[in-house]
Chain A
Amino acid sequence: MNEVFLLFMVCLLVLAVFLRENFIFTILYLFAGAYLLGGWWGRRAMLNLSIKRSFADRAFLGEEIPIRLVVTNRGWLPLLWLRIYESLPVDLSVHRTFRQVLSLGPREQKEFEFSLTARKRGYYHIGPLIAATGDVLGLHKEQHSEAAPDPLIVYPRIIPFTRLNLPSRSPMGTLRHHLPIFADPARLSGKRAYTPGDSLRTIDWKSSAAAGSLQVKQFEPSIALETAVFLNLDSRDYPLSIRYDAPELGIVIAASIASWVSANKQSFGLASNGLDPLPSSSADSAPAGPAQPVLPRKGRSHLMRILDLLARIQLGDAAPFTDLVRAQIPHLPWGATLILVTPTAGIDLFDTLFQARRSGLDAILVLVGPNPSWREIQARARSFNIPFYPIVHEQDLDIWRT
């Protein structure tokens, strides 16, 4: 196409030289001007293009995620045609892309809306958006522009638990307990007469002055439930037959426990040997790596951070689960409760848990997914006095819902 154009210009030039006619230069200017200005128009118009994408970057399972695209021509040159391709995650959308061809006048803006369904938990990218335009005569290559993708996190399903019966030895918490050994001096429950042996510090002098005899304060026992969930996502521990369902069930359990503990205003943490696709450094080119453990903390923002991690995390083959537990135990405070969510539990894991109990930690074992050796594991857990819960399907979680 360009060859024909330029050949025509050359022929005009030759004709002009031969005929010595000035008007041929006018025609030459016309074609050269159309060629050059047409290309300049396309390039310039693309520079003035602005595309903004807005949507809520967090969603829970089952929610509709409306996405709004605003395409603006900031310049005075019209965009004759513009083709936009927006890549969408295949797990969330029926169509792989959002596509449209439009034209924009000077300073014109157009908006497009479409929505995705959060069908599956995960870490997704909306985009990149590729815009293309060309010149009016089609003589130049298309101009392309790209808008970087934006991340979207779909949280895992959270099952509301009513009670968990988690053991704890951490005193001075906010949860009531029956053992008087965990008396909390901040929680006054009443007063009684002094008996020899009572600590002098517990004497309530004001009441004693009013009553005329020594009175001592009585305190409510309470515990703090410092919880750390250990989620095993080592692909080597999951047989092929359950490699999709069981890890997802484990993630649902971990998310639900974290949510319950957070609702009870206790501190909780998460450690896993799964793969986190979001690089920990700011460099986009940094590869995915093992999930970083999250130490126990309280608060809603901490819960969201853990849910973010659970939304992103995938099966990996970094560290064996027992090594992970062993490495994290020293970072946990005395009295904390470990909840291990794993598809299998070998003797080395039980040894580690035994050592953890001796260090003042409590442990609960949740066996996720079908395991032919679950009776053996149950017997071993009983012998180590570790509460054991086999969860094969979601319905098995009813033990914590009633």
Chain B
Amino acid sequence: MTTPAASPAESVQANETVSIWVVHALVAAQMACVGLALLHFVRQLSPGFNPIYLPGLTVLLSIEAMITWRRTRRSTDLDYNGVIFWIVEWVVLLVTIRLFLFLWRGQFALEIQQFRSSPVAAFLDGEMVFASLAGFFAWVISGFHERDLLDLEGDVTILRETEVGTVVSDRQVTRRGMINRVFGVGFILVALIGLARVDFKALTLVQSRPRTDVFNLLVYFLLALAFFSQANYAALRGAWAWNKLPVARSMAKRWAAASLVFLAVVTLVAFLLPTGYTLGLLSTLSYLFDALMYAGYLLFSLVLLPIMALFSWISRLFSSSPPEDPAPVQEPVSPLFPNAAPASLPWLDLLKSLLFWGLLITVVGYAFIQYARQNQAIAGWFRRAPVLRWLRGVLAWVSPRLGGLSQQLGLAVKSTLQRLRRPALPLAPRPAGFVSLRRMSPRQRVIFFYLALVRRAGEAGLPRTPDQTPAEYASRLQTSLPGAETDLHEMTASFLEARYSLHDVSPEQAGLVRRLWDQLKRRLRRWAAPPAP
């Protein structure tokens, strides 16, 4: 068997390397979003406090955590105590953060003086504590991510391993852990931003505000979904390596590009969809129902109008009194516009509300249905639920009847259309006068030649009795015309198809029947000819 250009191990390694870089970039970018979200939140809480360096800090600490975890996990020759190592590391990090803040503020003399008077308080001031906590949060999350990312590597090791049990890897479990973590962080961010916005509205009485923080949150979740996609890819890579499947070298790049484009499109669509509504769900449903009733009423009126007009005219004919002016047609009251022209355009609000609720219910409902379809346990529970069982029973009773009705309706319409389309089939051409074969359709020609055969056979002394079907008559003729079985069979079959079926008859078929007729005509002539002396 031929092998691909690069060896399987090389392709696997290349794919894994690309994926590792992509996923680390995603983690760092997510931490930047976390930093931004914290920045917005802090600005909301304390407008004078503007730690603009926060996103950069979280990114740097995230990268540091990932590198440290990778090196300590990977280096087998390091002999260290984990707790002491992390404590020492964090001491160093705290000192670094403090130095950075010292340089950032630029108030050197003041800070040195404060440090001399109260070192601990000066070291751990409010900003330092906040920055450290934010950095620690990003560091811890990134560290846990890195720990899991290391479990998602090692494709080449798995690929090369030939003995069962020497390599243990459960990437699905690791993937689930990572996703739970990302969701957890996301949920915290959503809650923080939501609370901040509520507080903002309460303080300022302004309902709308710039959506930059929302955009940041969207970017976080876009990156989170890209992260999930890479985690899925890592789990698949592991499975392929277990099964020793050759993988295309460009897989990782294509995966990263396609998933980012897909998620960007989904994010854009999500950003543009309506999120606000003027009318509540029940009000919207009520308006929708009223609109449907109104439409039905209009339709009914249109259908009845000619009948009512006819009755009115007939009654006028028989009536002696002069016709009264017809009562003014009462227009139905629109439930949508019960009052005079409103100041704004309520139909726009209704449309927006309809769109919003419709989308929301469709999207969420369909997602749950898809989930239920893929999970037999839940699907089974739904099947067993009493109300739903009753509904299914009603549906099972109604649907065959409706289905049968619609089928019969469809058949009736189809047959009517066919009847209207089908040209009248003359049983025979005009009895007297010149018969023009060229003007006949192929179907008519087939019937003509068959009837000519019957007539000629009758003249030759082989008449067809009224009770004989075409097949029986063909059998009768075969006994008198040996050697003509095939021709008779073909001709009879063609006649039956042309006469009794709706199949198209091609000119070639009509030509064949004509040739058969010529041959049979000669046989009949020979048969009928008196024997030579």
- Residue A326 lies at the interface, judged by CB distance under 8 Å to chain B: no
- Residue A15 lies at the interface, judged by CB distance under 8 Å to chain B: yes
- Residue A318 lies at the interface, judged by CB distance under 8 Å to chain B: no
Query: Which residues of chain A from 185 to 237 have any CB-CB distance to chain B below 8 Å in the complex?
Result: none
- Which segment, of B65-73, B252-260, B325-333, B457-465, faces chain A? B252-260
- Residue B370 lies at the interface, judged by CB distance under 8 Å to chain A: yes
In addition to A15-B190, A136-B229, 9 A-B residue pairs with Cβ atoms within 8 Å of each other are: A4-B180, A6-B368, A6-B371, A29-B363, A31-B225, A33-B270, A34-B266, A100-B245, A102-B247
Residue numbers in A under 8 Å from B366 (CB-CB): 36
Shortest distance from the beta carbon of B18 to any chain A beta carbon, whole Å: 13
Residue numbers in B under 8 Å from A52 (CB-CB): none
Interface centre among A9, A15, A23, A99 (most CB of B within 10 A): A23
Are B217 and A27 in contact (CB-based, < 8 A)? yes
Shortest distance from the beta carbon of B23 to any chain A beta carbon, whole Å: 14
Query: Which residues of chain B from 221 to 271 have any CB-CB distance to chain A below 8 Å in the complex?
Result: 221-222, 225, 228-229, 231-233, 235-236, 240, 243, 245-248, 250-251, 254-255, 258-259, 262-263, 266-267, 269-271
- Known contacts A21-B198, A34-B263: does B1 contact A26 (CB below 8 Å)? no
Interface string of A17-37 (1 = CB under 8 A from B): 001011111111111111111
With A and B bound together, what is the CA distance between A28 and B176 in angstroms? Answer: 20
Are B176 and A1 in contact (CB-based, < 8 A)? yes
- Residue A343 lies at the interface, judged by CB distance under 8 Å to chain B: no
Are B364 and A26 in contact (CB-based, < 8 A)? no
Residue numbers in B under 8 Å from A134 (CB-CB): 232, 236
With A and B bound together, what is the CA distance between A38 and B265 in angstroms? Answer: 12
Contact of A81 among B176, B222, B255, B360 (CB under 8 A): B255
- Known contacts A8-B187, A78-B254: does B232 contact A25 (CB below 8 Å)? no
Q: Which 10 A-B pairs have the closest CB atoms?
A: A138-B232, A22-B275, A29-B270, A30-B270, A23-B214, A25-B275, A19-B194, A32-B363, A102-B248, A33-B266
- Residue A2 lies at the interface, judged by CB distance under 8 Å to chain B: yes
Interface centre among B191, B197, B240, B270 (most CB of A within 10 A): B270
Are A80 and B190 in contact (CB-based, < 8 A)? no
Are A80 and B254 in contact (CB-based, < 8 A)? yes
- Residue A113 lies at the interface, judged by CB distance under 8 Å to chain B: yes
- Residue A137 lies at the interface, judged by CB distance under 8 Å to chain B: yes
Residue numbers in A under 8 Å from B195 (CB-CB): 19
Are B255 and A32 in contact (CB-based, < 8 A)? no
Shortest distance from the beta carbon of A261 to any chain B beta carbon, whole Å: 33
- Known contacts A103-B251, A103-B254: does B2 contact A29 (CB below 8 Å)? no
Interface residues of chain A, those whose CB is within 8 Å of chain B, are 1-2, 4, 6, 8-9, 11-13, 15, 19, 21-39, 41, 78, 80-81, 83, 93-95, 98-103, 105, 113-115, 134, 136-138, 140-141
- Residue B29 lies at the interface, judged by CB distance under 8 Å to chain A: no
Are A26 and B225 in contact (CB-based, < 8 A)? no
Write 24 A-B pairs (CB below 8 A) sorted by A numbering. A1-B175, A2-B374, A6-B367, A8-B187, A13-B364, A15-B191, A19-B197, A21-B197, A23-B214, A23-B275, A28-B360, A30-B267, A33-B270, A36-B363, A78-B258, A80-B254, A80-B259, A101-B247, A103-B248, A134-B232, A136-B232, A137-B228, A137-B229, A138-B236
Residue numbers in A under 8 Å from B235 (CB-CB): 138
Residue numbers in A under 8 Å from B363 (CB-CB): 28-29, 32-33, 36
Interface residues of B, CB < 8 Å — how many?
65
Contact of A30 among B176, B218, B248, B371 (CB under 8 A): B218
- Residue B343 lies at the interface, judged by CB distance under 8 Å to chain A: no
Are A115 and B255 in contact (CB-based, < 8 A)? no
With A and B bound together, what is the CA distance between A134 and B363 in angstroms? Answer: 21
Which residue from chain A places its CB closest to the CB of B255 in the assembled complex?
A80
Residue numbers in A under 8 Å from B370 (CB-CB): 35-36, 39, 140
With A and B bound together, what is the CA distance between A379 and B270 in angstroms? Answer: 94
With A and B bound together, what is the CA distance between A87 and B276 in angstroms? Answer: 55
With A and B bound together, what is the CA distance between A95 and B1 in angstroms? Answer: 8
Are B2 and A115 in contact (CB-based, < 8 A)? yes
Are A101 and B246 in contact (CB-based, < 8 A)? yes
With A and B bound together, what is the CA distance between A23 and B273 in angstroms? Answer: 11
- Residue B183 lies at the interface, judged by CB distance under 8 Å to chain A: yes
Are A101 and B245 in contact (CB-based, < 8 A)? yes
Which residue from chain B places its CB closest to the CB of A135 in the assembled complex?
B232
Are B2 and A103 in contact (CB-based, < 8 A)? no
- Residue B211 lies at the interface, judged by CB distance under 8 Å to chain A: yes
Residue numbers in A under 8 Å from B374 (CB-CB): 2, 140-141
- Known contacts A2-B374, A23-B217, A27-B190: does B245 contact A137 (CB below 8 Å)? no
- Residue B288 lies at the interface, judged by CB distance under 8 Å to chain A: no
Residue numbers in B under 8 Å from A38 (CB-CB): 262
Are A4 and B250 in contact (CB-based, < 8 A)? no
Interface string of B190-223 (1 = CB under 8 A from A): 1101110110000000000001001001100110
Are B2 and A136 in contact (CB-based, < 8 A)? no
With A and B bound together, what is the CA distance between A27 and B271 in angstroms? Answer: 8
With A and B bound together, what is the CA distance between A192 and B485 in angstroms? Answer: 49
With A and B bound together, what is the CA distance between A140 and B370 in angstroms? Answer: 9
Contact of B194 among A21, A98, A103 (CB under 8 A): A21
Shortest distance from the beta carbon of A149 to any chain B beta carbon, whole Å: 18
With A and B bound together, what is the CA distance between A52 and B292 in angstroms? Answer: 52
With A and B bound together, what is the CA distance between A6 and B211 in angstroms? Answer: 26
Interface centre among A19, A29, A41 (most CB of B within 10 A): A29
Which residue from chain B places its CB closest to the CB of A13 in the assembled complex?
B364
Residue numbers in B under 8 Å from A41 (CB-CB): 262
With A and B bound together, what is the CA distance between A114 and B250 in angstroms? Answer: 21
Are B245 and A19 in contact (CB-based, < 8 A)? no
Residue numbers in A under 8 Å from B250 (CB-CB): 103
With A and B bound together, what is the CA distance between A103 and B247 in angstroms? Answer: 9
- Residue B179 lies at the interface, judged by CB distance under 8 Å to chain A: yes
With A and B bound together, what is the CA distance between A8 and B224 in angstroms? Answer: 13
Are A35 and B240 in contact (CB-based, < 8 A)? no
Are A2 and B262 in contact (CB-based, < 8 A)? no
Shortest distance from the beta carbon of A70 to any chain B beta carbon, whole Å: 15
Shortest distance from the beta carbon of A241 to any chain B beta carbon, whole Å: 35
Shortest distance from the beta carbon of B72 to any chain A beta carbon, whole Å: 29
With A and B bound together, what is the CA distance between A281 and B263 in angstroms? Answer: 52
With A and B bound together, what is the CA distance between A107 and B37 in angstroms? Answer: 41
Residue numbers in B under 8 Å from A6 (CB-CB): 367-368, 371
With A and B bound together, what is the CA distance between A23 and B359 in angstroms? Answer: 15
Which residue from chain B places its CB closest to the CB of A78 in the assembled complex?
B258
Shortest distance from the beta carbon of A87 to any chain B beta carbon, whole Å: 14
With A and B bound together, what is the CA distance between A41 and B197 in angstroms? Answer: 36
Residue numbers in B under 8 Å from A19 (CB-CB): 194-195, 197-198
Shortest distance from the beta carbon of A142 to any chain B beta carbon, whole Å: 10
Residue numbers in A under 8 Å from B359 (CB-CB): 29
Which residue from chain A places its CB closest to the CB of B247 in the assembled complex?
A101
Residue numbers in B under 8 Å from A27 (CB-CB): 190, 217-218, 221, 270
Interface string of B517-529 (1 = CB under 8 A from A): 0000000000000
Contact of B214 among A26, A83, A99 (CB under 8 A): A26
Residue numbers in B under 8 Å from A78 (CB-CB): 254, 258
